[in-house]
Chains A and B, each alone.
Chain A
């Protein structure tokens, strides 16, 4: 056994999307990069809804399609389903610009995809060390110079560490980049079942023309039982993903069991027929950081940077997290290269990571949406009253045969105002608008 110091140019913590991207960029430039991953292999710990965004994948690998990424169906129909207790109103788009090749988004299964994404980094020259948990940092003169791991003789040195540890940002906290753990109002717990069905069945039940068509649906209303939260449905090739996420705060307040909430969604009269006869392939649960801009840690310090979920880079309303993780990983990789060129790993040099991100949608969107999580927490009506109203209204509208239509509109109007005063409705719209536009 050697007692030599284990040394790399860059150490990346976590082989998720942010981590494998950062490593690929730095390794492509010729740096000696190690990615340390606690899972048995990259992807084994990773879990999402969900869909990946083509723009971010192609930004890292312009020859993406030659590399045959293990993606499931392209998203050719997307939008909202509004659930009432026993009904559903659909508001989705399909065709038009959504169908333009390459399709903007693809459904993926992360265990498969992340393992492939890490292989691409390996091909660029990164060295993956799996089955190893990073536990802390090594400092010299106030600067991070390495990490400790949970293995005997487990110290690894590098002048720059890129932390891509995901939502449970224990190391980011240890490093003092943020002074508190995740708050219950600033994260959602999502639970999901992947249910296998034949491609034919999926197509028939969801009205998809072929296996080359797929759906990404956000489900609002009864699915979260009035709590701030969203349900979702994604179509893999031979399976559908159905899940629901609610804030930790809501779980705390209501004391419901997440898997019962999910089961209730699966048994909803509008959902159950979709999955009837399907087999449970895998269940899982994962946190989603929802604090956005307001919960963002300091992004760098001497010898270290943080990217992806660990840095709260998620736009929860748009289900954007993967693309932010990838773009931030890339930026951190570029900054590591710059630091090596300068031979200087101080906070000042690494600050160009943040400067770079300011120019991208990552920081721009997160800033713009900075009021969203508070908005949703304070406006539970968006999760309950409006979806129910919408179901009532549409239901009325399309069953009002032989009724004077003036009466119809009155009824619809009453069904709204009996739930919420007109003034409040206007107030809701204004604050929703503000939360989205970010003024």
Chain B
């Protein structure tokens, strides 16, 4: 859920509204915001699955340190979505294991 009005920070800055694609499905985003923010707003909580035990991982640090939020972005694996800006038409996919798609896991 977006925090459009905030008692201290006031209204959110209006950015350009764009669309990114999460596992193929369109998700609204604001240009330049972290991919993770757009996904979290859309209710996505699991970003990748681990190699050994196939466990889900989601946002943990939100500042690029923990790597829990890595996904495949425009075909490139291991992108930290909490510090990578969203761009129109971006394709974002759940990452399995060390950088593969589901069928490769």
A binds B: no
Instruction: List residues of A whose CB falls within 8 A of some B CB.
Output: none
Instruction: List residues of B whose CB falls within 8 A of some A CB.
Output: none
